[in-house]
Amino acid sequence: MLVLALGAALGLAFVLGVSDAPNATGALLGSGATTTGRALRFSFACHLLGGLAGGSAVAGTLGALVTVGSDDGVVMIAAACLAATTVTLGAARRGIPTSASFGLVGGLAGAALALGGPDAPHWGGFSGLRPVGTVGVAVGMLCSPVAGLVLAAVVRRILGRALRRAPRRARRPLRAGTWAAAAVVAFAGGANDTQKAMGLMTGALVADGAARGTGIPVPVRVGAALALATGTVVGGRRVIRAVARRFYRPRPLDGFAAQLVGAVVVAGAGPVGAPVSTSSVAAAAVAGAGGAIRPRHVRWARLGSVFVIWVATLPVCGLLAAALALGLRALA
């Protein structure tokens, strides 16, 4: 069962790379700052570095979401990872955008309920700015794209007014600024997403008795970071194009505003231990930047339907993880 749990967590890291990670450079591609190939190579390098050098606050938050017995801990982790991966890949094959990050939170809660009853999940809320428990993490993940949307609109308006009469050559540094902001988003997104997988892998090792303490073993960190970064290259091409063009086709100034806000939201979430979905933040920021100047060009209905899908991912993965957990425990 331990091998299944570790493999499922690595598979989740790969799927996070496919679905979430490439979105950090979507605005770069949409604004014409680079090509798809360069964007993917850039994404791979930054996410790998983020995964290797990132902290462990997010991993600690996920580890505190549930409490089950040591015998069921490995089963719960395997079921949650399998549920999030299955739903994300199944939706992607049908062209339905979703997020493995949302699926993981729902999967952990569902598996814990099935194995330990209603007291197993830590429902929680917020302790200051830090999300606590399942409710706090879920609310934080749902609020982060809203924050990206609003902040990007504000930043885009400020930049538009500040540069309204500036000569064209004064806008050239914006491309370099867009690249710098994209690097921050990719690095912080890699750290945030990798911690989700490595926290679960470490939890499985501790529950099985194969590891002691709560520190992240080096092989676990390296394996999760490589799986995530590889996912950005192997499966990220379609997703990165979708973020660049699905909701709004950003201009250079739009792309800079979206990347700047994405960097603030994603990078700010890591130190407080808040798991975020890079895909939802990136998509919302692009739409917010476009909506501030050309609201009729933003596909608001499509963005709204995607947000509904993100919310629905939580209970769907929870139900699937509960069924998988009971089945795996019967087989163990």
Residue with tokens 């990132």: 54
What are the phi and psi torsion angles at 317 (to 5°)? -70, -30
Residuewise pLDDT in 10s, the chain (332 residues): 888 889 999 999 998 887 765 566 666 666 666 777 787 788 889 889 988 987 777 877 777 777 776 678 889 999 999 999 999 888 777 666 677 888 898 999 999 999 988 888 888 777 776 777 888 888 888 888 899 999 999 999 998 887 776 666 655 677 777 788 888 888 888 888 888 898 888 888 887 777 676 678 889 999 999 999 998 888 666 666 555 566 777 777 887 888 889 888 888 887 777 888 877 888 888 889 888 888 888 888 878 887 888 888 899 999 999 999 999 988 86
The gap from C-alpha 162 to its chain's centroid, in whole angstroms, comes to: 32
Q: How much is the pLDDT for 24?
A: 65
pTM: 0.83
Eight-state DSSP code of residue 169: G
**How far is residue 321's CA from residue 324's CA, in Å, rounded to a whole number?**
5
User: SS3 of 130, please?
Assistant: strand
Asked whether 226 and 11 are in contact (CB, 8 A), the reply is no
Q: How much is the pLDDT for 78?
A: 92
Angle at the Cα of 281 from the Cα atoms of 33 and 146, rounded to 5 degrees: 130
Q: How far is CA 81 from each of CA 5, 38, 215, 296, 315, rounded to the nearest angstrom? A: 8, 30, 21, 39, 14
Residue 129 CB: number of other CB atoms within 10 A? 12
**How far is residue 24's CA from residue 181's CA, in Å, rounded to a whole number?**
9
Asked whether 270 and 56 are in contact (CB, 8 A), the reply is no
Domain boundaries, position 135 = 2-331
How many folded domains does the chain comprise? Answer: 1
Residue with tokens 């606590």: 132
Amino acid occupying residue 29 = L
